[in-house]
Amino acid sequence: MRVLTEETWTIIVKEDDDSQVALVDACRRAGFTPKLRYRIADREMRWGLIAAGRAISLCQPTSPHAEGTVLRPLAGDPLTGRIRLAWNRAALSENRAQLLYRAAGRAYLDSVPRNTFYRSWWASRPELHPSLD
């Protein structure tokens, strides 16, 4: 098991994202403060830092594989997240919004098999699966 307390971390920084707060909170619950050295907005740069061995990062379990990197699960379930879908009711009818929701849900479910760890985690938690009916 890799000791995460000694690692240098990178995170993707976006205005509407609370992933830095989630990371810091999860690390604190685990008994340490992460060494956040790289706060960047470019995903390719993040993968480059990771592939070069200069940092580690949290990522979406459905992330595509990046050359020179590996995905590993964290012990337990220290982090969960929500994917929200928002639309302007004046521009999109309720029917169209439901179609969009189901399409987004199917696209997400189609990406689950990309990560072996996530696939087994997801299969063991049917209560989290979206209802696409």
Report which of 109, 116, 117, 17 is spatially closest to residue 76, judged by C-alpha positions.
117
Interatomic CA distance for residues 6 and 24, integer angstroms: 14
Q: What is the DSSP letter of 53?
A: T
The string of DSSP letters for 59-128 reads: --TTPPP-TT----PPSS------------TTTS-HHHHHHHHHHHHHHHHHHGGG-HHHHHHHHT-GGG
Per-residue pLDDT 10s for the chain (133 aa) are 468 889 999 998 876 677 788 888 888 888 899 999 999 988 899 999 999 999 999 888 888 778 999 888 877 777 777 778 888 999 999 999 999 999 999 998 898 888 888 888 889 889 888 888 7
Q: For the whole model, what pTM was predicted? A: 0.74
The pLDDT value recorded for residue 63 is 81
